[in-house]
Amino acid sequence: MTSEREPQPYVNRWGDTSEPAPERRGIRQDACLCVEQSRPRPRARVGFHTERQDVSAPGWLRLLELIDEAAADGREEFRPLVGLNPEERRQIVTLPPSIARLTMVKHLVLCGSNLVRIPPEIGAMTSLEEFTPYTSYRLHWFPYELTRCPKLSRSTVSTRALFVNYKLRPSFPRLQPDLDRVTELALEDLDPRRRGTTIIRRCSVCDRPIEQDGLQQRWISLRVATDVLPLLVNACSSACVASLPHGARGYVHTPHKGGRVDQPPSEWD
């Protein structure tokens, strides 16, 4: 006679991914076909998501409140989507700059989000140790400022949704020509289709105000915590571009402008 083990429940590591109650069910994430996640066939052309954040949406206003609460109580784990219903989650396509106030947060959980971009202010979250944007399938790249989180050592990212992921090798969006001066550029109201974001305030490398210099955007793939991530650099000068590190092993070695760049062979090729 064999003894049977008592059934053990599966632990949900990210509480905000659980199925909501019937009265709270709804569409919380828009479909995205930017990156083919099933076949290793690089697309001829990819681009940035063009959505702009509606700062009057109820979900955005509630998110601002949740960030204020987290900053005030000094919590170490922040799961903002738990406090939003599905429609409110769907309204959030980026995070507010006020996340820079979350200097005590060690674990940021954004599972199943509708995000299309993360603001550079995430680099001010200096206590961040774990970053979990898992199943955020519209999040294809990250800001270079994420490398400013000195304690970040663990991440859980849906890597097949990333630009130039190791397995499927989609291309990067092609970046705009370099500018020596940005006097004619509305830095607080940029076209996300062209620049990837709606606001650029400071250099990703030296942190100087961009308005005082120029703008040179580059892609670079670096290992950040557990994963190799495509990072967008908004540099103010050629010197800042030259100071960037080499790309991760198996990826493009130098910072580049995107498009159909030549990539090292993948073990999946």
Residue 163 domain flag: yes
Q: How many CB atoms lie within 10 A of CB 38?
A: 7
In this structure, are residues 178 and 263 in contact, taking their beta carbons and an 8 Å threshold? no
Residue 21 domain flag: no
Residue 22 domain flag: no
What are the residue ranges in the chain where pLDDT is below 50? Answer: 1-25, 40, 268-269
Residue 7 domain flag: no
Residue 133 domain flag: yes
Candidates 55, 59, 62, 68; CA nearest to 29 is 59
Task: Give the pLDDT score at 21.
Answer: 43
The residue segments making up the domain with residue 114 are 29-36+44-242
In this structure, are residues 233 and 255 in contact, taking their beta carbons and an 8 Å threshold? yes
Residue 10 domain flag: no
Q: Strands (DSSP E) along the chain, which ranges?
A: 77-78, 107-109, 130-132, 142-143, 154-155, 216-224, 227-235
Task: Give the pLDDT score at 11.
Answer: 39
Domain count, the chain: 1
Residue 97 domain flag: yes
Task: Give the pLDDT score at 263.
Answer: 74
Residue 118 domain flag: yes
Task: Give the pLDDT score at 29.
Answer: 85
Instruction: Decide: pTM greater than 0.95.
Output: no
Phi, psi of 146 (to 5 degrees): -60, -25
Question: Radius of gyration over alpha carbons of the chain, in Å?
Answer: 19
Task: Give the pLDDT score at 35.
Answer: 75
